[in-house]
């Protein structure tokens, strides 16, 4: 009988017919195969099970089948079929058309704008995966495909872990699982299931795309692997002198050795890559050399005694780092509503450590185009709104690194807010309820549309009721304040 | 066929009924009761009557150490409260219930699964499976793809892996695929006396065709159960532990 690793074109595997062998990896073989009954060809994957194969081969195959069966969306290949055939276990998945990140990596260094675009798409895909309770754990350029529509798909889930399912790959070996150049420090220590491990690997990919070099090389020994626990990578701006500071800030923030100082979510990385002007530059942005021997020695000692944290599902990590959008209508709100919005914001972020608050205001286009010198006035209004947002946020007393400010422009305010929330993977929107004046009744309420259509939780905030004060009529209130 | 696997009922009628009706809503077509049907709780006769009905409708039943103790013997290896409860239970059982308990086998098989109260390595020795090595011994002896056990009142799932035996803490309501090329040891948790900090009854549902195992937690009226225990004159500690699931 033919071996599963050498199937000839025309061989029938369950209900599929092999067309050609595409790739033979260390653990499995990939074929292009079409359903016998007709239809779209897919990727047929069979694990290497012959004598001498490493048991991880099968565990990885089993893990991939299990996890692909649980995840959905454009960022993962669709699992089409799977089971047992005459040639042993097999699975069939969607063939993803697009450009492998390996091609971009071979063309590196790329311009900063391209790195940001690719990185943001990858960060979004990763966050979507993490939200489904899966950590990839083997992120590298050859496992990332840019689809023609600009979205990223991740492939090869053989080392992945699902927070609610047994960790089959992890139980198979005591050695670190991952690819040497991209593996995170905690993976080296055997910790699995932390989404920030993928954020580290994302940082390695960004570094590679931006500089054309790998930050930690490709070590082959355990000692070499562990070097990244105490030795800094060379700052990217030392290699590419005109690399923007914000990009170095983002890359080095991804590559932090300690998970609690790294970016908390891949969504935060994508958000920063999409809005580089908002990135808060720290010492990382200007770093010109690696830390010295003394620092490395101290880190080496700390790494020796580090206790691995208790395992929790990836979504439990994300829950500690919510992205909160506060929609602030600086034009038509009252001080009491402003305060109520601040109180609501503090209740949402209270206790969480790695949240991000984006303060958003929408500048309505109808206001701009009616003016003669529209563009110039638009710029001035934009700046004014930005200043007002900062002014609103100041009493919160929150750290600058965790605050972002955006003035969006458009005529349909709820759509703009919802679109922004979707693109930035917001977890919570806080928005003020507006009055019931005749105009509002006619135009409809912004908050109710946001509440109905947002991709996340929405808190609609009202100023506390005071007897005798018409809470819905801001004009009346403003007169009282004046 | 979907098999509802219920272990360690311990004469808790409210928890048993809650799990049975939950399993029915999930589409269970067959029921397996993994022993310790009695002991601790105040409703041994009512529980055994109900289980006898299921037995007639081809349910799978095996014997547990408390069931064996209820039939006679000194119970020297049991704790004081457990022994108190067994003496109390013996006095309530008639010939019918005793014959029913005496008819229960130590193990039963169906397709590639084995059902047993404790470790499958020595079914009458009532070995607790609390570690990977104990789970490994049970799986090695079972000659089955999946071993279902109770005895330990904490739900968990063990599986044979390259570096030994893996252990997984199941998440209630999330189906887990049990690949037929691997060996599995499922501890389904206790219906009548959960001890993992949750007071909800535990059981598991195994879909044979899909090879999917789902662990469930079912809240039930533990206040009533506790009141019955106190009214029956059983040790109060047996009532109190139901509230906290300890």
Taking the Cβ of residue B184 and every Cβ of chain A, the question of whether any pair is shorter than 8 Å is answered with no
Residues A61 and A80 in one domain: yes
Domain boundary among A93, A112, A147: A93
Same structural domain for residues A179 and A284? yes
Do A139 and A242 have their domain in common? yes
B107-110 and B113-116 strand pairing: antiparallel
Residue A479 has a pLDDT of 44
With respect to residue A331, please indicate whether it lies within any of the assigned structural domains.
Answer: yes
- Same domain? For A160 and A276 the reply is yes
Domains annotated on chain B, with CATH? 2-244 (3.60.21.10)
Among the residue ranges A40-44, A239-243, A435-439, B47-51, the one predicted with the least confidence is: A435-439
What is the pLDDT confidence band of residue A482, given thresholds at 50, 70 and 90? very low
Instruction: Give the CATH number, domain containing residue A44.
Output: 3.30.200.20
Residue A292 has pLDDT above 70, yes or no: yes
Q: What average pLDDT does range A285-293 have in this prediction?
A: 86
Residue A48 shares a structural domain with residue A30: yes
The CA distances from residue B95 to A165, A247, B48, B91, in Å, are 46, 81, 12, 11
Phi/psi class of residue B39: alpha, beta or left (left: φ > 0; alpha: ψ in -120 to 50)? left
Alpha carbon A432 to its chain's center:
28
The pLDDT-based confidence of A478 (bands split at 50, 70, 90) is: very low
User: Which residues in A have their CB inside 8 Å of a CB on B?
Assistant: 55-56, 58-59, 62, 65-66, 69, 84, 89, 163-168, 170-174, 313
pLDDT score for B38: 96
B166 touches chain A (CB under 8 A): yes
Residue spans of alpha helices (H) in A145-244 = 168-172, 185-188, 195-211, 222-226, 236-239
Please report, rounded to a whole number, the percentage of residues in chain A having pLDDT higher than 70.
89
How are strands ordered across the β-sheet holding A152-154? A98-100, A144-147, A152-154
Is residue A481's pLDDT more than 50? Answer: no
Same domain (yes/no): A68, A110 = no
By residue count, chain B amounts to 246
Q: Check if the beta carbon of residue B146 is closer than 8 Å to that of residue B114.
A: yes
Chain position carrying tokens 């994508």: A270
The residue of B139, B158, B166 whose CB has the most chain A CBs within 10 angstroms, and thus the best one to mutate to test that interface, is B166
Where does chain B have alpha helices with state H? 13-25, 44-56, 65-70, 80-92, 95-102, 132-142, 222-231, 236-244
**Chain B residue with Cα closest to A83:** B179
Which of A88, A133, A166 would you mutate first to test chain B, the one with the most B CBs within 10 A? A166
The list of chain B residues with pLDDT below 50 reads none
A84 shares its domain with A107: no
pLDDT band at A176 (very low <50, low <70, confident <90, very high): confident
Query: Of A93, A122, A138, which marks where a domain is finished?
Result: A93
pLDDT of res. A4: 78
| A147 falls within a domain | yes
**What number is the average pLDDT over the span A79-96?**
90
User: CB-CB: which of A163, A165, A172 is closest to B162?
Assistant: A172
The rounded mean pLDDT for chain A is: 87
Domain count, chain A: 3
Residue A400 covered by a domain: yes
- Chain B residue with Cα closest to A165: B176
In angstroms, what separates the C-alpha of B132 from chain A's closest C-alpha? 12
CB contact under 8 A, B162 and A59: yes
Question: With bands split at pLDDT 50, 70 and 90, how would you rate the model's confidence at A53?
Answer: low
A318: in domain: no
User: Between chains, do A58 and B181 touch, taking CB under 8 Å as contact?
Assistant: yes
Residues of B in contact with A173 (CB under 8 A): 162-163
A333 band by pLDDT with thresholds 50, 70 and 90: low
Does position A296 have pLDDT exceeding 90, yes or no? no
- What gap in Å lies between CA B246 and CA B240, rounded to an integer? 9
Do residues A368 and A309 both lie within one domain? no
In a domain, A383, yes or no: yes
Which residues in chain B have Cβ-Cβ distances shorter than 8 Å to A165? 168, 174, 176-177
The rounded distance, in Å, linking the Cα atoms of B195 and A121 is 46
Mean pLDDT calculated for residue range A369-395? 80
CATH number at residue A384: 3.40.50.620
Q: How close, in Å, is residue B200 to chain A by CA atoms?
A: 20
Contact A400, A422 (CB under 8 A): no
> Looking at residue A444, what is its pLDDT?
65
Domain assignment of residue A401, yes or no: yes
| Domain carrying residue A380 | 323-481
Q: Which of A134, A152, A151, A154 has its CA nearest to residue A143?
A: A154
The alpha-carbon gap from B173 to the nearest alpha carbon of chain A, in Å, equals 10
Chain B contact set for A313 (CB, 8 A): 171
Q: Contact B159/A166, CB-based, under 8 Å? A: yes
Contacts of B161 in chain A (CB under 8 A): 55, 59, 168, 171-172
Residues A173, B163: C-beta atoms closer than 8 Å: yes
- Are B166 and A167 an interchain contact pair (Cβ–Cβ within 8 Å)? yes
- Across the A:B interface, residue pairs with CB atoms under 8 Å apart total 46
Within 10 Å of residue B21's Cβ, how many Cβ atoms?
Answer: 12
Min distance B138 CA to chain A CA atoms (Å): 18
Q: Would you say residue A263 has pLDDT above 50? A: yes
Same domain, A115 and A221: yes
Write the burial class of residue A84 (CB in 10 Å: 0-12 exposed, 13-18 middle, 19+ buried): exposed
Alpha-carbon gap, residue A139 to A456, rounded angstroms: 27
Same domain, A356 and A278: no
d(CA A466, CA B3): 59
Q: Rounded to an integer, what distance in angstroms lies between the CA atom of residue B88 and that of residue A361?
A: 72
Using a cut of 0.80, tell me whether the model's pTM lies above it.
yes
* For range A363-369, the mean pLDDT: 66
Q: Is A55 helix (H, G, I), strand (E, B) or coil?
A: helix
A438-472 per-position pLDDT tens digit? 455 555 688 889 999 999 999 999 887 777 665 55
**Inter-chain CB proximity B166 and A89 less than 8 Å:** no
Percentage of chain A lying above the pLDDT 90 cut? 54
Interior angle at CA A322, CA A320 and CA A324, nearest 5? 150
CATH of the domain at A179: 1.10.510.10
Chain A contact for B231, CB < 8 A?
no
In a domain, A474, yes or no: yes
What confidence category does residue A379 fall into, taking pLDDT thresholds of 50, 70 and 90? confident
Task: Mutate one of A161, A164, A176 to test the B interface: name it (highest B CB count within 10 A).
Answer: A164
Is there a domain that residue A301 lies in? yes
Tell me how far apart the alpha carbons of residues A27 and A47 are, in angstroms, rounded to a whole number.
6
Give the closest-approach CA distance of B99 to chain A in angstroms.
41
Tens of pLDDT, residue by residue over A195-229, are 999 999 999 999 999 999 999 999 988 888 888 88
Contacts with B157 from chain A: Cβ below 8 Å: 166
Partner-chain contact A173 B174, CB within 8 Å: no
Mean pLDDT across the stretch A233-246? Answer: 95
Among B163, B171, B179, the residue with its CB nearest the CB of A172 is: B163
Q: Do residues A144 and A174 share a domain?
A: yes
**Can you tell me which residue has the tokens 């709820």?**
A414
Q: So what's the pLDDT on residue A301? A: 80
**Residue A297 pLDDT > 90, yes or no?**
no
Residue of chain A minimizing CA distance to B179: A62
Nearest Cα of chain B lies from the Cα of A426 at a distance, in angstroms, of 26
Same domain as A190, residue A59: no
Q: Is the sign of the CA dihedral A273, A275, A280, A282 positive or negative?
A: positive
Mean pLDDT throughout A319-333?
85
Residue A477's pLDDT band (cuts 50, 70, 90): very low
Domain boundary among A66, A93, A120: A93
């Amino acid at each position: 009988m033919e071996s599963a690793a050498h199937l000839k074109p025309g061989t029938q595997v369950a209900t599929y017919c092999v067309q050609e062998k595409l790739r033979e990896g260390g653990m499995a073989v990939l074929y292009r195969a079409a359903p016998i009954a007709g239809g779209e060809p897919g990727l047929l994957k069979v694990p290497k099970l012959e004598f001498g194969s490493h048991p991880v081969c099968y565990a990885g195959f089993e893990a991939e089948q299990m996890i692909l069966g649980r995840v959905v969306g454009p960022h993962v290949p669709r699992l089409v079929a799977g089971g047992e055939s005459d040639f042993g276990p097999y699975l069939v998945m969607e063939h993803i058309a697009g450009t492998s990140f390996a091609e971009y990596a071979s063309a590196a260094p790329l311009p900063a704008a391209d790195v940001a675009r690719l990185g943001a798409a990858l960060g979004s895909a990763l966050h979507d995966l993490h939200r489904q309770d899966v950590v990839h754990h083997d992120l590298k350029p050859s496992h990332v495909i840019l689809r023609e529509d600009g979205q990223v798909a991740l492939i090869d889930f053989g080392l992945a872990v699902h927070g609610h399912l047994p960790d089959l790959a992890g139980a198979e070996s005591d050695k670190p699982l991952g690819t040497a150049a991209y593996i995170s420090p905690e993976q080296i220590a055997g910790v699995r299931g932390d989404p920030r491990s993928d954020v580290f690997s994302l940082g390695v990919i960004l570094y590679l795309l931006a500089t054309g070099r790998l930050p930690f090389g490709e070590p082959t020994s355990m000692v070499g692997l562990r070097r990244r626990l105490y030795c800094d990578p060379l700052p990217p701006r030392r290699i590419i002198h005109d690399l923007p500071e914000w990009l170095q800030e983002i890359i080095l923030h991804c590559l932090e050795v300690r998970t609690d100082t790294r970016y908390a979510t891949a969504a935060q990385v994508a958000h920063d890559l999409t809005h580089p002007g908002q990135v808060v530059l720290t010492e990382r942005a200007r770093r010109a050399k690696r830390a010295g021997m003394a620092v490395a020695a101290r880190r080496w000692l700390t790494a020796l005694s580090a206790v691995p944290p208790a395992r929790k599902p990836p979504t439990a990590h994300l829950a500690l780092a919510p992205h909160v959008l506060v929609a602030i209508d600086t034009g038509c709100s009252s001080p009491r509503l402003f305060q109520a919005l601040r109180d609501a914001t503090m209740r949402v972020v209270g206790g969480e450590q790695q949240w991000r608050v984006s303060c958003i205001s929408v500048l309505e286009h109808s206001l701009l185009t009616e003016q003669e010198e529209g563009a110039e006035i638009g710029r001035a209004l934009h700046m004014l709104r930005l200043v007002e947002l900062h002014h609103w946020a100041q009493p919160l007393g929150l750290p600058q690194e965790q605050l972002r400010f955006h003035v969006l422009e458009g005529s349909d305010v709820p759509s703009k807010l919802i679109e922004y929330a979707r693109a930035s993977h917001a977890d919570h929107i806080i928005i003020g309820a507006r009055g019931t004046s005749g105009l509002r009744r006619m135009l409809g309420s912004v908050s109710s549309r946001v509440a109905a259509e947002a991709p996340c939780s929405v808190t609609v905030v009202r100023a506390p009721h005071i007897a005798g004060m018409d809470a819905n009529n801001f004009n009346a209130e403003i007169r009282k304040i004046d | 066929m979907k098999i509802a696997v219920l272990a360690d009922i311990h004469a808790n009628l409210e928890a048993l009924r809650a799990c049975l009706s939950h399993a029915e809503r999930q589409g269970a077509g067959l029921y397996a009761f993994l022993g310790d049907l009695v002991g601790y709780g105040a409703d041994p006769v009512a529980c055994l009557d109900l289980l006898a009905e299921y037995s007639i409708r081809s349910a799978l039943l095996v014997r547990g150490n408390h069931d064996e103790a209820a039939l006679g013997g000194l119970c020297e290896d049991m704790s004081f409260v457990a022994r108190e409860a067994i003496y109390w239970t013996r006095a309530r059982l008639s010939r019918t219930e005793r014959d029913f308990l005496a008819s229960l086998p130590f193990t039963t098989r169906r397709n590639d699964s084995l059902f047993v109260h404790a470790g499958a390595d020595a079914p009458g020795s009532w070995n607790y499976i609390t570690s990977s090595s104990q789970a490994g011994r049970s799986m090695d002896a079972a000659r089955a793809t999946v071993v279902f056990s109770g005895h330990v009142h904490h739900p968990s799932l063990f599986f044979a892996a390259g570096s030994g035996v893996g252990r997984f803490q199941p998440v209630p309501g999330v189906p887990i695929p049990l690949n037929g090329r691997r060996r599995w040891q499922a501890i389904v948790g206790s219906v009548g006396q959960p001890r993992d900090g949750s007071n909800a009854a535990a059981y598991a549902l195994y879909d044979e065709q899909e090879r999917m195992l789902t662990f469930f937690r079912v809240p039930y009226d533990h206040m009533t159960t506790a009141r019955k225990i106190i009214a029956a004159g059983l040790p109060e500690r047996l009532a109190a532990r139901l509230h906290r699931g300890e």
